[in-house]
């Protein structure tokens, strides 16, 4: 038995309650891919809060505390300004709100690139402060020594190749990658380098489909696509995008719901009732005791 934190949804408060530890493990995810084939694709979504984690957890294998929270939660123009402190705070919340999924935390820009030692310090802090199982970092062959350094010291790593948002100032846009032969070859070779360095999974983002398939077939790591191919070993999306909370989303996003409209209608109804003084009614107020 292990003490975890679950949410009492009747009060919206977190209360410590004993619960059996049922989380998936990194080796369990690795075993999904046998001889290059993944019979059961890996389901991954982003989560930034305890309540969202609680809702997603029963249906996902992995929850990603993405640095996309910079844009989704904080309204920043890119992921570049995101700090280690932000990632640690949201990562801890997601771990508290889940019990089944592996929680992976993005390492923010500037927290790992300088050296493997710097990366280890940042990654160790994230895992200690949050209870997450793994970290994710962007970059290909250049980051392979860092991936090896981390994995040899007990920190599971998810790689990230193709469109790497932290490099937006170099890339210049969020356009799909791999359209030229040289760029396509580099994406595949980057994935191989991360695989050989010990990454247990690799996110392939925003690449033309044949390259995503080539990467999936070229590595033993589980390949998780986003804007890639259904033939990857798994998929990830930003949850707020697939729930329709934003007007603009990338071409590769499928909206499974239009929650922006649901929320807007609910708030409109609330505002109307407040202004006409029909809320709160007797059902939402306290009468004196007899």
Binding site annotation covers 138?
yes
Exposure of 205 by Cβ count < 10 A (0-12 exposed, 13-18 middle, 19+ buried)?
Answer: buried
∠252-46-196 over CA atoms, to 5°? 85
- The CA dihedral of 78, 245, 23, 213, to the nearest 10 degrees, is -70
Answer yes or no: 85 catalytic. Answer: no
Tokens of 175: 């356009």
Binding site annotation covers 68?
yes
Q: Are 67 and 104 in contact (CB under 8 A)?
A: no
Count of C-beta atoms within a 10 Å radius of residue 143: 25
Q: Which of 92, 93, 86 is nearest to 107 (CA)?
A: 86
Q: Which of 224, 223, 222, 221 is nearest to 198 (CA)?
A: 221
Q: Which of 55, 281, 70 is nearest to 166 (CA)?
A: 70
Binding site annotation covers 233?
no
Binding site annotation covers 220?
no
Q: How far does Cα 222 stand from its chain's mean position?
A: 15
Q: Which residues contact 97 (CB under 8 A, 6 or more apart)?
A: 5, 6, 7, 47, 49, 50, 51, 52, 53, 54, 57
Tokens of 8: 């009492």
Return the residue matching tokens 């070993």.
Answer: 233
Q: Are 226 and 206 in contact (CB under 8 A)?
A: yes
∠7-8-9 over CA atoms, to 5°? 95
Binding site annotation covers 113?
no
DSSP H helices in 23-167: 26-30, 50-56, 69-72, 84-96, 116-130, 144-151
Which of these is catalytic: 39, 117, 205, 217? 205
Instruction: Give the annotated binding-site residues for Mg(2+).
Output: 67, 106, 138
Instruction: Give the annotated binding-site residues for 3-methyl-2-oxobutanoate.
Output: 67-68, 106, 136
Catalytic positions are 205
Instruction: Give the annotated binding-site residues.
Output: 67-68, 106, 136, 138
């Amino acid at each position: 038995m292990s003490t975890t934190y679950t949410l009492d949804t009747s009060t919206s408060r977190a209360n410590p309650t004993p619960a059996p530890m049922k989380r998936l493990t990194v080796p369990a995810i690795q075993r999904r891919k046998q001889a290059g084939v993944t019979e059961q694709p890996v389901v991954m979504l982003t989560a930034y809060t305890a309540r969202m984690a609680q809702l997603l957890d029963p249906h996902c294998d992995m929850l990603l505390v993405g640095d996309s929270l910079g844009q989704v939660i904080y309204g920043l123009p890119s992921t570049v300004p995101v700090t280690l402190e932000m990632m640690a705070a949201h990562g801890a919340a997601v771990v508290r709100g889940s019990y089944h999924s592996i929680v992976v935390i993005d390492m923010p820009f500037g927290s790992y690139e300088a050296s493997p030692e710097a990366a280890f310090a940042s990654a160790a802090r994230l895992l200690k402060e949050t209870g997450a199982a793994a970290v994710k970092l962007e970059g290909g062959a250049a980051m392979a020594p860092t991936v090896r350094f981390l994995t040899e010291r007990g920190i599971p790593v998810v790689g990230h190749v193709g469109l790497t948002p932290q490099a937006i100032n170099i890339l210049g846009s969020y356009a799909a990658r791999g359209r030229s032969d040289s760029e396509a070859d580099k994406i595949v070779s980057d994935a191989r380098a991360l695989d050989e360095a010990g990454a247990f999974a690799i996110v392939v983002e925003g690449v033309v489909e044949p390259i995503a398939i080539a990467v999936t077939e070229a590595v033993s790591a589980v390949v998780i696509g986003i804007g890639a191919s259904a033939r990857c070993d798994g998929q990830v999306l930003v949850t707020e995008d697939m729930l329709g909370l934003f007007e603009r989303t990338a071409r590769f996003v499928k909206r499974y719901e239009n929650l922006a409209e649901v929320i807007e209608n609910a708030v409109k109804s609330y505002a109307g009732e407040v202004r006409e003084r029909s809320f709160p009614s007797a059902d939402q107020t306290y009468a004196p005791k007899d």
